Amino acid sequence: MNLRQFEVFHAIMRTGSVTGAARLLNVTQPSVSTVLKHLEAQLRFRLFNRIGGRLQPTPEAQALLPDIDAVFSRLAAVERLTQDLAGGRLGTLSIAAAFPIANGYLAKAVATFLSGRPGLRVALQSLTSPQVVDRVASREVELGVVHEPVGSTEVETELLVRSSIAAVLPADHPLARAPCVKLAALAGQPIVTYLPQNIFRLYVDRALAEAGIAPPIVAQVTVSLTGIMLAQHGAGIALVEPLMLRSLAFPTLVARPLDPPVEFATVLVRPRGTPDSSTAARFVQHVRAVLREEGLLPPEH
């Protein structure tokens, strides 16, 4: 499928007719019909059935739609980017980070970095770690911040900070009385943690297995904040990355480190072979200063 065929297919799916697609694309109805006919011949299956004067998508068309939608979402993003470039609105520093990082200390770092720099513009994207790596590798952003591991050979990484999975639980829970929660004490406790697709789930499962316990996992989540919210509402003890607990107000919850600790690394990600701009280099220094203020890095000596 080429981009023109994508356009025709997408327009018909949006409008439900060849006539509507032609109007949307500002072309003639026969040209849309011709592209659709060639496309179905090329694919060797039908994309639409005509029912009651309208085109009804086949199951094959419905299966294609999410990926085609994703293509047009990215094209729309590129169009907005070119408009920003033409209008001089593009930020001089573009950053992408995993959700809890972007909405935690990185948001604070960006806000305080902008203070006193009225001419600076920053674009901050909150994404999954693989999406961040993809944006950096394609040079859509200058700097990424993600949790390890990073599998791409098209980027370079630099350690930013080491952190740990924690037990997030009500402050009045018996296990919250100690400064840390021993993994063995979680036996029989209802647990909220990540879905298997999340890299942190591997860390949690390994730690529980090494402790010789298999507590019931009552809920699985995509991001840490959802796990914290479930703990807030009494679903169970959340074994998650606790950064959002520091960034948002959860007065009834506490985070206790696990014993033994379940550690992971957070890294800066840059396009391979591309040095930082002077602004990016200053921003990285500022991020480290914010981490020291937050107690997530030891003070400089």
Question: What is the tens place of the pLDDT at every residue in 81-139?
Answer: 676 545 434 457 899 999 989 999 999 999 999 887 777 789 999 998 889 999 999 99
Residues 6+ apart with CB under 8 A from 42: 1, 5
Query: Other CB atoms closer than 10 Å to residue 53's CB: what's the count?
Result: 7
DSSP state, residue 74? H
- Contact (Cβ atoms closer than 8 angstroms) between residue 131 and residue 223: no
- Contact (Cβ atoms closer than 8 angstroms) between residue 193 and residue 217: yes
Point out the least confidently predicted range of 79-93, 167-181, 260-274, 276-290. Answer: 79-93
Q: Please list the residue range(s) of the chain that carry CATH number 1.10.10.10.
A: 3-86
- Can you give the pTM of this predicted structure? 0.66
Q: Please list the residue range(s) of the chain that carry CATH number 3.40.190.290.
A: 91-301
- Contact (Cβ atoms closer than 8 angstroms) between residue 193 and residue 166: no
For residue 67 the two structure tokens come to: 């990926």
Q: What CATH architecture does domain 3-86 belong to? A: Orthogonal Bundle (1.10)
Mean pLDDT of 237-258: 92
Q: How confident is the model at residue 277 (pLDDT cuts 50, 70, 90)?
A: confident
d(CA 168, CA 263): 15
DSSP state, residue 147? E
Query: Other CB atoms closer than 10 Å to residue 179's CB: what's the count?
Result: 8
**pLDDT reported for residue 86:** 56
CA 140 to each of CA 76, 270, 271: distance values in angstroms, whole numbers, following the listed order? 14, 11, 10
Helix ranges restricted to H, the chain: 3-15, 18-25, 29-43, 59-86, 99-102, 105-114, 129-137, 199-210, 224-232, 243-247, 278-293
CATH tag for 91-301 (out of 3.30.1490.190, 3.40.50.1980, 3.40.50.300, 3.40.190.290): 3.40.190.290
Residue among 162, 158, 161 nearest 276 (CA): 158
Q: What angle do CA 171, 173, 176 make, to 5 degrees?
A: 65
Q: What percent of the chain lies above the pLDDT cut of 70? A: 96
Point out the least confidently predicted range of 14-23, 44-53, 128-137. Answer: 44-53
- Contact (Cβ atoms closer than 8 angstroms) between residue 109 and residue 283: yes
d(CA 135, CA 127): 10
Task: Name 165's bridge partners.
Answer: 262
For residue 123 the two structure tokens come to: 């674009």
For residue 128 the two structure tokens come to: 């999954």
Mean pLDDT of 147-157: 91
For residue 193 the two structure tokens come to: 């943690």
pLDDT score of 48 more than 70: yes
**pLDDT reported for residue 88:** 39
DSSP state, residue 175? G
